[in-house]
Structure 1
Amino acid sequence: MLMNRHAPAPVEAIPDEIRADVETLWRYHDMHHQLRPCDVGIGLGSHDLGVAVIATRLFHEGLFPWIVFTGANAPTTIERFPRGEAVHYSEYAIEQGVPAESILVEPRATNTAENLEHSRQLLGERRISVQSVLIMSRPYQQRRAYATCKLIWPEVDVVCASNPLDLDDYVRSIGDPRRVVNMLVGDTQRIEVYAERGFAIPQEMPDELQAAFGRLVAAGYTTRPI
């Protein structure tokens, strides 16, 4: 039988010896918010096009009349989104039928606080009244996005969402399980560190979560922690 030379190489899976700990972190970052209509949707820039995917879908479902895509570049995104995260997200959304006039592009933010601060400023400049926001992010950024928004934009009601993939499907979409685990570990550490530094409100961190985090650090997943 002839081999398909163009078939993609299989994506590695999460190693069995760390799977339970990775799943513990994965579940923690999902805020499990019930989706409801909001005044604006905000898509946080990252390496994950899934943010634009879910933003586009929820716009078409009528959950918000405006989308702000926010994000410049980072070392992890410059190759995939050379014109900037927000720009590429907006291009995807327009290709999928979102009217260009319903999209605001914020191309300067380089971290979550700036994503939200600059988005708030942009919406104010456009005189768009905002009492509720639906923040869309990578799955493991939900809790940090929520905690950051509640500190710097406390008057708005916050709902968090991500492209609804389970852990294995998400790893396949990214194509690199080690990268996903490193990012999960890094975002878990940031929940505590950013609250201590005054960048976000504190979040409960159960003992089970801290133990899983410690074991993953000990296993060498240390490229993303501060």
Structure 2
Amino acid sequence: MGHEPRPCSVAIGLGSHDLGVAEVTAELYQRGMAPLVLFTGATSRTTRERMPRGEAEHYRERAIELGVPDEAILVEPQARNTGENIRFSRALLEERGVSVSSVLLVSKPYEERRAYATARKLWPEVDFVSTSAPMALAAYIDSIGDPQLVVDMLVGALQRLLLYPAQGFMISQDVPRDVQEAYERLCAQGFTSRLIPDVTQAE
């Protein structure tokens, strides 16, 4: 999205198969961009085997390896989709008495816009800065090592940007025509494993 990271009340790392999210969140903490880190995420079909203790817990362990003190980390281990990431994180911060006016929202590079649109819908009074690892697509695919997975998930994220605003799950975002056409081509080529047939079910 082109947001420039700046100091915020908290950095929230959204759970996924990509430990790079934890690494970016740790780097932002070490740069003084947030005094507190919150990792959110249970497991999914993608992470059940590679992150058996849960995405948020594996993120916490990686951040500690990178020098973030354990006392600066909160873990939200129940969320199973982006909406729950936001709602459950908000509830945990309120429970802990953390005053939040701004959030560094850390996600996978191709999830920045979806994360932002969801957060703005569910927590409208907070200022969100959406960020991720600054990587081009080819480099990101190399880092994950699974081109099919990355493109399938990218296509799924775009589908949600197109459909979820009407369902009340996120704010509307402009999707340029050339992006829609690329999405349609990828669907036609079979990158469809992350598409949702039932848009009444938030994910």
- Report TM bin, short chain: over 0.9
The match for 1:221 is 191
Distance, in Å, in 2 between the alignment partners of 1:205 and 1:85 is 30
The match for 1:76 is 46
SS of alignment partner, residue 180 of structure 1: helix
Q: 1:97 aligns with which of 46, 67, 73?
A: 67
Distance, in Å, in 2 between the alignment partners of 1:77 and 1:196 is 29
Q: 2:163 aligns with which of 193, 204, 208?
A: 193
2:17 is the alignment partner of 1:47:
yes
Distance, in Å, in 2 between the alignment partners of 1:80 and 1:44 is 16
SS of alignment partner, residue 35 of structure 2: coil
Give the CA deviation at 1:34: 1.2
Mapping for residues 133-144 of structure 1, pairs under 5 Å:
133-144=103-114
Q: Over aligned residues, Cα RMSD in angstroms?
A: 0.7
The match for 1:20 is none
2:35 is the alignment partner of 1:65:
yes
Q: What amino acid sits opposite 1:44 in the alignment? A: L
Distance, in Å, in 2 between the alignment partners of 1:221 and 1:100 is 39
Structure 1 residues 63-106: Cα deviation after superposition (integer angstroms, max 9, x where no partner): 00000000000000011100000000001111111111100000
- Structure with max Cα Rg: 1
2:32 is the alignment partner of 1:32:
no
Distance, in Å, in 2 between the alignment partners of 1:176 and 1:94 is 26
Q: What amino acid sits opposite 1:92 in the alignment? A: R
Give the CA deviation at 1:169: 1.2
The match for 2:143 is 173
Distance, in Å, in 2 between the alignment partners of 1:220 and 1:96 is 38
Give the CA deviation at 1:199: 0.4
2:119 is the alignment partner of 1:149:
yes
Output the TM-score relative to the length of structure 2.
Answer: 0.95
Give the CA deviation at 1:222: 1.0
SS of alignment partner, residue 145 of structure 1: helix
Give the CA deviation at 1:164: 1.6
Give the CA deviation at 1:135: 0.4
Distance, in Å, in 2 between the alignment partners of 1:221 and 1:41 is 32
Q: How many residues are matched? A: 196
Give the CA deviation at 1:220: 1.2
Q: What amino acid sits opposite 1:119 in the alignment? A: S
The match for 2:199 is none
Moved more, 101-110 or 209-218: 209-218
The match for 2:84 is 114
Give the CA deviation at 1:163: 1.3
SS of alignment partner, residue 181 of structure 2: helix
Give the CA deviation at 1:167: 1.2
SS of alignment partner, residue 190 of structure 1: helix
Runs of 4+ in 1 over 2 A off after TM superposition: none
Q: What amino acid sits opposite 1:67 in the alignment? A: V
Q: What amino acid sits opposite 1:36 in the alignment? A: R
Unaligned runs of 5+ in 2: 197-203
Q: What amino acid sits opposite 1:97 in the alignment? A: G
Give the CA deviation at 1:56: 0.6
Distance, in Å, in 2 between the alignment partners of 1:67 and 1:116 is 14
The match for 1:19 is none
